[in-house]
């Protein structure tokens, strides 16, 4: 095989040529060919933001409405139901009901009805046997 000398032998031409000044004027010609049109841009963030804000406001409205509804429901709203239960349940005695009451409940009843200790003692002595009162007071 014959050795190839690159610098001394004539080079093969590729057959492709670039016109003179092509690269200097390329960007100008390309910009002239592109039509300048204003396209409508639809921002996705604004629609998502609107949907999220509506969902947040609905959740806030429902949450606060439920909170204030529960807050305004007090024990007095249930007093009729409790009273009906106590009157319909004949197995409960007065002593059973009093045993579930706390001292503050008894004091508020005394203040509400303006009962004096002498009146309470008189009522108990008139309606109950002294043995029954003593046995119930020592059980608690």
How far apart CA 64 and CA 58 sit, in angstroms, is: 10
What pLDDT does 9 receive? 64
76 or 12, which is more confident?
A: 12
For residue 120, pLDDT beyond 90: no
Mean residue pLDDT across the chain = 76
Of residues 56 and 20, the one with the higher pLDDT is: 56
Which of 11-15, 16-20, 59-63, 78-82 is modeled with the greatest confidence?
59-63
What is the rounded distance in angstroms from the CA atom of residue 26 to the CA atom of residue 21?
9
Residues 14 and 16: their CA atoms lie apart, in Å, by 6
Q: Please give the model's pTM, rounded to 2 decimal places.
A: 0.29
What is the pLDDT, as a whole number, of residue 62? Answer: 94
């Amino acid at each position: 095989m014959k050795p190839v000398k690159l610098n001394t032998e004539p080079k093969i031409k590729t057959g492709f040529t670039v016109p003179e000044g092509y690269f200097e004027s390329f960007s100008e010609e390309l910009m002239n060919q592109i039509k300048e049109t204003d396209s409508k841009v639809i921002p996705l963030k604004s629609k998502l933001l609107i949907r999220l804000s509506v969902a947040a406001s609905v959740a806030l409205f429902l949450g606060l409405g439920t909170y204030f509804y529960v807050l305004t429901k007090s024990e007095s709203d249930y007093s009729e139901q409790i009273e009906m239960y106590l009157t319909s349940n004949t197995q409960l005695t007065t002593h059973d009901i009093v045993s579930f009451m706390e001292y503050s409940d008894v004091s508020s009843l005394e203040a509400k009805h303006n009962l004096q200790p002498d009146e309470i003692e008189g009522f108990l002595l008139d309606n109950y046997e002294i043995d029954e009162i003593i046995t119930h007071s020592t059980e608690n």
